[in-house]
Amino acid sequence: MSKQSKEFWRWREYRHTVPEMDWHDAKIVTAGVDIGSVGSKSVIMLDGKLHAYAAIRTGGVSEETAIRVLNWALDETGLQTKNVHCIVGTGYGRVNVPFAKRTITEIACHARGAHYIYGPTVRTVLDIGGQDCKAIRCDEKGKVISFLMNDKCAAGTGRGLEVFADLIRVPIAELGKASLNVEKEPAPVSNTCVIFAKAESVALLRQGWEKEKVAAAYHLAMVNRIIDLLTKVGVEKDFVVTGGVANNIGIISRLEKNLGIKPLEPNVDPILAGAMGAALFAKALYEKQIGLR
Amino acid sequence: MLAHYGYKDGSGDYFIIIDTDKCDGCGKCVEACAYGVMELIEDEFDIEDGSMAAVTEEHRKKIKYSCGPCKPISGERKLPCVLACSPKAISHSW
Amino acid sequence: MITAGVDVGAKYVKVVLLEDGRKVLKRANGIVGFDILKSATEVFEKALLEAGLNHDRISRVTATGMGRKAIHKKHPLNAGEIVPEVIADAKGAYHLLPAVKTIIDVGAEEGRGVKVGEGGKVKDFVINERCAAGAGTFIETMARALEVGVEDMGPLALKATKAIPMNAQCCVFAESEVVTLIHSKVTKEDISKAIHDAMAGRIASMVLRIGVEKEVVLIGGVARNPGFLPPLKKELNTEITIPEHPQYVGAFGASLLAFETEGK
Ligand code: SF4
Ligand code: SF4
């Protein structure tokens, strides 16, 4: 497996300020900092409204990454760290966020952020990253009711797809589309384990199956597995999918078909969901602190 | 909240489910487990303070094995963590 | 009377030809190919040829192993009976060592623990399956990541100087962990030990579910790997015997069962 192909879910670094908002008019300025294993994100909110954000790659030292991403988000807003009333850290490196008043798990922040991005009708959030899969169910306030995270097994994660992309030599970005290029949906690959499913796929290719057909069988198996996990926390409308694998149309369209629910479309990059949730928790925390709630 | 700790792999589903609304943070499950699978963590799911039971990071990816000795193939099965919890906050999926 | 036992594993077919329920005339093995029946037949015929026997000299064939159904009552092998691996294992191991109480069988795709009672009867068993991290495939995949031959893995592990932990519990993620360890200059010896330790830990916990009682026997292909025994002994805190030809115990058991059935 080549080193590069493992990193398809890396995105470019970017920042943005929402125009025509002035922090001087805001009563409460908060920030959320999400230190993930691959990327780190920061969001600035004015009275609970998205004002600026930045996303960068996580460096070797979490503290430095946290400071860098926060400063970059603050850049061009005229704000300085001292103007921010409250900061909450999240993500796997959350304990290393300097200035953070508190840490909140990425599960809770993800749900809260999805609630903000997609609206209060969101009940089920599925996040499939390179190395894990999270299923979260939340209520109308964005509070977690049930969650599950699977990061033990590569099956059902971006990594599982990569192993397969490598096998049939199709670029990972085109894999989902290729898997839809079949007349009829084949039976799913019967093995869940990536190692065994790969061997099974090799056998199918030897039998003369087209790449696309094997890809369809592989995607279908992955979708069945994801649905199984979702069912454990309960699937309810509205449903959203985030994480790198959300870009794989072969997965998304099959999820939609087999669940009978169409995932909502986001209006901002859902990669920011965790940091947004953290900024919203920061607002609630500050309000509590000054006796507003 | 129902917190599912554990995993699903090729061989099956292995989750310890903690109902955090029932859990009062007494820590009896932590004492009861001889293998260090359970721990008390601070509630990091909201801005309120409090503590709740969870499966330790160390064991989350291998509870099928960690909990194996408490789940004999034959004979009576008594899970110390489940028995220790008076509010019945803990369940196992397998 | 000559009977045969055929063990169709995930990776290899093993054949044992047995005379009068006592004497092993021939052992043979070969890789399981795409067509299971064909692979099994080839190995069977190889065994016959090497033993200088004709097919009609074989009174009965009993099959075991994951692929046993593929050869059940199918021409030309005509396996009359099929038995689960744990039954064949218990039969074979009991015959080799009547004091056996616990059998640990680690093959390419499955790990098994069998509790043996009076007369070699199966009392209890436990199986690890469908996750490559719990069987021989794990060590094979790691060997590829380390860029060493599978047969070198055990000897390498025995030369290790440090015990380092492996965190990944998945074959796929463990591959990346091994690559990271190589980059951080951990020696291949130490990495190999970590791999065997992790694997032994998983097998030991599995076997603990049926209870471990002496004598303990380790069989299956992985038993031939010298790096696996020391950590397994340590985990289970017991002596463990490895019979000669540990990978043939299942096939041997099947040939014994064929003899018993035929003798009735
Ligand atoms: S089933 Fe396969 S992919 Fe999943 S944890 Fe086991 S080895 Fe890894
Ligand atoms: S025993 Fe029950 S109530 Fe007490 S900490 Fe454990 S799960 Fe919570």
Distances from the Cα of A45 to the Cα of A88, A274, C117, angstroms: 12, 13, 69
In this prediction, residue C175 has a pLDDT band, given cuts at 50, 70 and 90, of: very high
The 3-state DSSP class for residue B55 equals: strand
Exposed/middle/buried for residue A190 (C-beta within 10 Å: 0-12, 13-18, 19+): exposed
Q: What's the N-to-C CA distance of chain C in angstroms? A: 13
Handedness of CA A234, C172, C103, C65 (dihedral sign): positive
d(Cα B16, Cα B4) in Å, to the nearest integer?
A: 6
Exposed/middle/buried for residue A11 (C-beta within 10 Å: 0-12, 13-18, 19+): middle
The interface residues of chain A toward chain B in range 15-34, judged by CB-CB distance below 8 A, are none
d(Cα A141, Cα A138) in Å, to the nearest integer?
A: 8
Chain B residues in contact with C211 by the CB 8 A cut-off are: 72
Are A34 and A75 contained in the same domain? yes
pLDDT digits (tens, 9 = 90+) for C199-210: 999 999 999 999
d(Cα A32, Cα A109) in Å, to the nearest integer?
A: 9
* Lookup: tokens for B79: 């899970």
* Lookup: tokens for C58: 């074989």
* Lookup: tokens for C192: 């190999």
Does the domain at B2-92 match CATH 3.30.70? Answer given as: yes
Cβ-Cβ contacts under 8 Å for C47 (sequence gap 6 or more):
C4, C15, C16, C17, C26, C27, C28
Give B64 to chain A, closest Cα distance, Å: 11
The answer to whether C28 touches C238, Cβ cutoff 8 Å, is no
> Considering its fold, how many domains does chain A have in total?
2
Q: Give me the pLDDT at residue A11, please.
A: 54
Ligand nearest, relative to CA of residue B83: 2
State in Å: Cα B8 to ligand 1 middle: 9
- Is C34 an 8 Å CB contact of chain A? yes
Handedness of CA C230, C154, C105, C20 (dihedral sign): negative
Q: Give me the pLDDT at residue A271, please.
A: 87
Are A52 and A97 contained in the same domain? yes
Residue A32 lies in a domain: yes
| Shortest-distance Cα residue to atom 6 of ligand 2 | B29
Are A153 and A64 contained in the same domain? no
Cβ-Cβ contacts under 8 Å for B93 (sequence gap 6 or more):
A232, B4, B6, B13, B14, B15, B16, B17
State in Å: Cα B93 to ligand 1 middle: 19
Are A94 and A144 contained in the same domain? no
Distances from the Cα of A86 to the Cα of A28, A76, A116, C5, C156, angstroms: 9, 19, 19, 73, 54
Q: Is the CB of C132 under 6 A from ligand 1?
A: yes
Residue A189 lies in a domain: yes
pLDDT digits (tens, 9 = 90+) for C64-101: 999 999 999 988 888 889 999 999 999 999 999 999 99
The answer to whether C114 touches C86, Cβ cutoff 8 Å, is yes
What average pLDDT does this structure show over C250-256? 98
State in Å: Cα C172 to ligand 1 middle: 7
Which residue among A156, A225, A288 places its CB closest to the CB of B47? A288
Which residue among C131, C167, C168 places its CB closest to the CB of B11? C131
Low-confidence ranges of chain A (pLDDT < 70): 1-11
What average pLDDT does this structure show over C134-155? 96
d(Cα A118, Cα A106) in Å, to the nearest integer?
A: 17
Residue A3 lies in a domain: no
CB contact under 8 A, B4 and A146: yes
d(Cα C243, Cα C5) in Å, to the nearest integer?
A: 18
* Lookup: tokens for C186: 């951990």
Q: What is the CATH number of the domain that holds A223?
A: 3.30.420.40
Chain B residues in contact with C206 by the CB 8 A cut-off are: 65, 68
Q: Among B21, B26, B52, B79, which is best to mutate for testing ligand 2, by the most ligand atoms less than 8 A from CB? A: B26
Q: Give me the pLDDT at residue A247, please.
A: 86
- Is A158 an 8 Å CB contact of chain C? no
Residues C207, C211, C217, C221, Cα dihedral to 10°: -10
Residue A7 lies in a domain: no
Q: Give me the pLDDT at residue A2, please.
A: 36
Q: Is the CB of C49 under 6 A from ligand 1?
A: no
Q: Among C129, C131, C167, C177, which is best to mutate for testing ligand 1, by the most ligand atoms less than 8 A from CB? A: C131
Catalogue the E-assigned strands of chain C.
Answer: 2-8, 12-19, 23-31, 58-64, 81-82, 102-106, 111-116, 122-128, 216-219
Ligand 2 pocket, residues with Cβ under 6 angstroms: B 18, 23-29, 53, 84-85, 87, 89-90
Q: Which class does domain C2-85+247-263 fall in?
A: alpha beta
Distances from the Cα of A71 to the Cα of A251, A281, B20, angstroms: 36, 20, 36
State in Å: Cα B53 to ligand 2 middle: 6
- Compute the count of residue pairs across chains A and C with CB atoms less than 8 Å apart: 37
Q: Where in chain C is the domain with CATH 3.30.420.40?
A: 2-85+247-263, 98-242
State in Å: Cα A69 to ligand 2 middle: 38
In this prediction the pTM is 0.91
Give B93 to chain C, closest Cα distance, Å: 17
Are A109 and A183 contained in the same domain? no
**Amino acid at the residue A244:** G
| Shortest-distance Cα residue to atom 8 of ligand 2 | B23
d(Cα C115, Cα C121) in Å, to the nearest integer?
A: 9
- Is B12 an 8 Å CB contact of chain A? no
State in Å: Cα A160 to ligand 1 middle: 9
CB contact under 8 A, B68 and C209: yes
pLDDT digits (tens, 9 = 90+) for A73-93: 999 999 999 999 999 999 989
pLDDT digits (tens, 9 = 90+) for C109-131: 999 999 999 989 999 999 999 99
Are A218 and A282 contained in the same domain? no
Q: Is the CB of A193 under 6 A from ligand 1?
A: yes
Are A215 and A141 contained in the same domain? yes
The 3-state DSSP class for residue C41 equals: helix
**Quick one: C98-242 is in which CATH superfamily?**
ATPase, nucleotide binding domain (3.30.420.40)
| Shortest-distance Cα residue to atom 1 of ligand 2 | B85
Give C8 to chain A, closest Cα distance, Å: 17
The interface residues of chain B toward chain C in range 3-62, judged by CB-CB distance below 8 A, are 9-12, 61-62
Residue A8 lies in a domain: no
Chain C residues in contact with A194 by the CB 8 A cut-off are: 132, 170-172
- Is C201 an 8 Å CB contact of chain B? yes
* Lookup: tokens for A93: 């490196």
Contacts 24+ apart (CB under 8 A), C95-100: C95/C120, C95/C252, C95/C253, C95/C256, C96/C217, C96/C243, C96/C249, C96/C252, C97/C215, C97/C217, C97/C241, C97/C243, C99/C214, C99/C215, C100/C215, C100/C216, C100/C217
State in Å: Cα B86 to ligand 2 middle: 7
CB atoms within 10 A of CB C12: 18
Range of the domain at A217: 123-263
Local confidence pLDDT in tens for the 94 residues of chain B = 999 999 999 999 999 999 999 999 999 999 999 999 999 999 999 998 899 999 999 999 999 999 998 999 887 788 999 999 999 999 999 9
Which residue among B10, B61, B74 places its CB closest to the CB of C130? B10
Interface probe, candidates C31, C34, C170, chain A, greatest A C-beta count within 10 A: C170
Q: Mutual orientation of helices A172-179 and A211-233 as an angle, nearest 10°?
A: 90
Residue A56 lies in a domain: yes
